A and B are shown apart, each in its own frame.
Chain A
């Protein structure tokens, strides 16, 4: 909760010039934060900040294009804004970014596993290194190292990479990301990989929460998954069509995905789709030396080319 008062006062300062500022407030119970759209000073008083503020609020920006919008971001969220700016999907002058240094957010799934319930949580105390959850009369001390989101364990961008107002002290340490989850999975026999996805995708509900939560999924009502013209996908409830939808998402996010993990987090049946995104990102980085949303003046690699590519050798197969 460090920095919260300063954040509130800065937002109040800027609010008169803005249509809305997006942050987080407490949701239906003390464990769950939910997006907060602030238009008045009273709204700002509801603001909260800390490891429970999981959502990437950059998701709302394209829908609010044309309005003057303020948005509170963690390090990883700021990458989504950079990527959106690079693709000219939002206007820099319309956006006011309140950036914070972030030590990590929790994974609700891990908390649920530790506590044994996802129901109403009566009380949560946020400590410097984690949270204490009171559920059904019992207290659980849960350090971030145990219940933190996976992405935070490999975070290289704790501080907002782009901000108009930066609150707090920057965090210097940065973790490594060797993509070992991807290489480990790929070391399994091919048949097993295929079976794994079929078994996983069979559970997909085609609810499209993964798509809707993604800040870079910007087609909205024109998504090819639902469009009848072109009729790319049937509405059949087959494993092929569900799996194919994830391939669409992966291909449409190639070179654009910032690994915020919102797709996977929002999946109601817990399908590990971030693995597919991370694989694509690993390849994009190897081929084009590019990490989405890290450099404001870079051009996304699939929107560009080199006559002589450095790392593609397509000749002589």
Chain B
């Protein structure tokens, strides 16, 4: 697969420095073919990922958001990912009420040695986002439609 601006969607990836970023690097060094939709943002720890990073990305036009950290028990800071897991799970279950498709957000654990797993994760997630298609952008037209639908509120 090559970078193709016409078919590529915008997926934001928040990766922890110690495991998942390393895992993505391993995949790169191993020259595994991967889809190119994902834009990676490296953070020190999955515990650093405020769920609002995800929400902000989604509200402002990302088609998908992927978070990846070290496996539970493998966190470089011992427990950052345990806190992350609770927050991210709470976030995921909150999205439906907003009307944001919860399938556009996913979180997972990939270690630095798991280049192959990283490739699988990126492929699966990208495929899912492509099935969902581009997210609707919140713009004047969409707002007008929403207001017409709820003219009485």
Contacts and interface: CB of A to CB of B under 8 A. Distances in A.
Given A243-B59, A255-B90, A275 B150 contact: no
B83 to A, nearest CB: 6
Interface in A189-236: 190-200, 202-203, 232
Interface string A111-128: 000000000000000000
Given A202-B147, A276-B97, A283-B93, A244 B107 contact: no
Contacts of B87: 254, 302
B98 A247 contact: yes
A194 B90 contact: no
Contact of B147 (A194, A199, A247, A255): A199
Question: Contact residue range for chain B?
Answer: 35 or more
A187 to B, nearest CB: 10
A193 B98 contact: yes
- Most B CB contacts (10 A, CB to CB) among A247, A287, A312, A314 go to A247
A198 B98 contact: no
Contact of A202 (B109, B124, B143): B143
Interface in A273-317: 275-276, 279-280, 283-284, 286-288, 301-302, 304-307, 309, 312, 314, 317
A256 to B, nearest CB: 12
Contact of B91 (A244, A248, A251, A276): A251
Given A287-B89, A312-B86, A195 B150 contact: yes
Question: Contact residue range for chain A?
Answer: 35 or more
Contacts of A254: 87, 90, 94
B5 interface: no
Contacts of A275: 97
- Most A CB contacts (10 A, CB to CB) among B60, B96, B98 go to B98
A302 B91 CA distance: 11
A165 interface: no
Contacts of B79: 305
B45 to A, nearest CB: 14
B99 A251 contact: no
B138 interface: yes
Contacts of A309: 85-86, 89
Contacts of B124: 317
B6 interface: no
Interface in A21-40: none
- Most B CB contacts (10 A, CB to CB) among A185, A196, A199 go to A199
A240 interface: yes
Contacts of B136: 194
A198 B97 contact: no
Contacts of A250: 94
A304 B85 CA distance: 11
Contacts of A307: 72-73, 82
Interface in B98-137: 98-101, 106-109, 124, 136
Contacts of A4: none
A194 B100 contact: yes
Given A301-B86, A307-B72, A279 B97 contact: yes
Contacts, number: 121
A240 B85 CA distance: 26
B97 A317 contact: no
B52 interface: yes
Contacts of A301: 86
A190 B143 contact: no
A185 B73 CA distance: 38
A314 B101 CA distance: 18
B99 A190 contact: yes
Given A195-B146, A198-B138, A283-B93, A240 B59 contact: yes
A301 B97 CA distance: 21
Nearest to A282: B93
Q: Top 7 nearest A-B pairs by Cβ distance?
A: A194-B99, A193-B99, A305-B82, A195-B146, A199-B150, A198-B146, A283-B93
6 contacts: A196-B149, A198-B147, A251-B91, A286-B93, A305-B82, A312-B86
